[in-house]
């Protein structure tokens, strides 16, 4: 019950662009075995799907507890993320009426 209330509250705070990006994170086909993905991979996926992307929107999703920044050391300058709470993320999409 607590997740449903949290999902409804978050769904009202997130913009359409945040929601589309969250859905893209869930739909991202290429994640590692831990579900980790690079922001660059997501950006490329969004461009192919016609979804607007902004790095700051990932930060917003992270600040809301939907994404977790992963501090993997793989070299380079890519920032890595993983979905922190997949159930909550799907409940938000369901509350908005846009389930993956």
Residue with tokens 């869930």: 26
Give the pLDDT confidence of 12-63 residue by residue, as tens digits: 888 899 999 999 999 988 777 778 898 899 999 999 999 999 989 999 999 9
Q: Cα 72 vs. chain centroid, distance in angstroms? A: 18
pTM over cut 0.75: yes
* CATH 3.40.50.1820 for domain 2-96: no
Domain boundaries along the sequence of the chain: 2-96
Question: Can you state the percent helix, strand and coil of the chain, rounding each to 5?
Answer: 55, 10, 35
- In degrees to the nearest 10, what's the CA dihedral of 88, 62, 21, 13? 70
Query: Is there a contact between 85 and 66 (Cβ–Cβ < 8 Å)?
Result: yes
């Amino acid at each position: 019950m607590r997740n449903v209330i949290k999902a409804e509250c978050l769904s009202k705070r997130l913009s359409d662009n945040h929601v589309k990006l969250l859905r893209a994170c869930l739909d991202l086909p290429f994640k590692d075995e831990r579900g980790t993905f690079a922001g660059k991979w997501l950006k490329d996926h969004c461009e192919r799907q016609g979804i607007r992307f902004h790095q700051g929107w990932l930060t917003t999703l992270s600040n809301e507890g939907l994404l977790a920044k992963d501090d993997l050391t793989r070299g380079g300058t890519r920032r890595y993320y993983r979905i922190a709470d997949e159930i909550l993320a799907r409940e938000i999409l369901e509350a908005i009426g846009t389930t993956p």
